[in-house]
Amino acid sequence: MTSPSLPVVRLRPKANARAIRHGFPWVYDNELVTDRRTRALPAGSLAILQDAERTPLGVVAFNADSRIICRMVDEDPAARIDQDWFAARLDRAQALRERLYPGPFYRLIHAEADGLPGVVIDRFDHCAVVQPNAAWAEARLDALVAALVDVTGVSVVIKNAGGRARVLEGLDDASGVVRGQAPAGPVAVPMNGATYMADLMGGQKTGLFYDQRDNHAFAARLSRQARVLDVFSHVGGFGLAALAGGADSALAVDGSQPALELAQAGAARGGMAARFDSRRGDAFDVMAALAEEGRRFDVVICDPPAFAPTKKALEKGLRAYERVARMAAELVEDGGYLGLCSCSHAADLARFRGACNRGIGRAGRRAQLIHTGQAGPDHPLLPQLAESGYLKALFYRL
């Protein structure tokens, strides 16, 4: 049974309908029969997806302007995508996070893996930041926000419209508060014994990167009585966790002065300001300067932005990761630890590890790979979608 009110779109005969039936959530534009009628559907329209034999596969979100022309929304062709439907998905997602974490600070919705394709929601106690990165979610933002408030009890909802994904969907970049009033200042977020200050209105992405929580904790275990260097630190991610874990000192390096000021504020909130220092500048330039100064650290962590956000940028990105590894390895004390991270979708674990290994070798160092990390469990993976497992963290002893 299908919903009679929705248009129908159909896979081409050579399209892999089996993959869709087994949970792959995307249909690419070369896999769908397109004619004047389908191309006229507004971006974000819901439709019934059929295979080439006209068997319904589910409700999809359609966008003729996107390379991903259909995203699976519900495998039930009769599903009604309304506020109650959003509430059921949100309730299921919240149940997992409440089991994992003692307080309401986590990624609540991680897109396809939580059944809301293209949607990211991070929760900061009574505030939630929503990234509707797909046209279907943008078109139904009111229902999504209403369900979010009902399920979680948050009083402030902020829409973040930054990021490359919205551009690919043909969406605007207009961010703002959609429910309640904007927070008066940065929001304090407790995590791994440290306090982070998240700028929900003007910070990167949603204001804080929850995905590194478990990797922060592992780095903190290595950092007892250590001198720590946190490169590409943002608001103090690894550095503050290391201090909370007993590090003697932490130096945070970032190109953003506002981010470093938030890191300093977090250190002060946690009573760690005396052990925290920062240096603003290009990460490569600062690492070169530290090497010239003869500085060495017991633990060095590098968590750069995505150097390989697309397949076209892969080779250039891998060279950048190799360079980071080489320069960082030169700053690690003998017997010390090096953590290297990548959030690039296009660089899989094997390629990223290869680039890091080459960089360490070029620095003249020998290493033991002691731990491989990924995003925390509030960033679940959809097994059929490799792209949902973007974060990689490698820890070496040099």
Whole-number Å distance between alpha carbons of 60 and 355? 38
Question: Residue 57 phi/psi, 5° resolution?
Answer: -110, -20
Instruction: Please tell me what DSSP assigns to residue 24.
Output: -
In the residue annotation, 343 being an active-site residue is answered as yes
Q: Does residue 351 come out as left (phi exceeding 0), alpha (psi in the -120 to 50 range) or beta?
A: alpha
b/e sequence 16-41, b meaning 16+ C-beta within 10 Å:
ebeebeeebbbbeeebbeeeeebeeb
- Alpha-carbon distances, residue 229 vs 143, 145, 236, 372, 394 (angstroms): 44, 40, 11, 19, 16
Whole-number Å distance between alpha carbons of 383 and 261? 39
Q: Which of 127, 302, 343, 356 is catalytic?
A: 343
- For the beta sheet containing 56-62, the strands, ordered from the edge strand earlier in sequence to the opposite edge, are 8-10, 45-50, 56-62, 68-74, 26-28
Question: 223 CB contacts (<8 Å, ≥6 apart)?
Answer: 241, 242, 243, 245, 246, 247, 298, 299
The residues that are catalytic are: 343
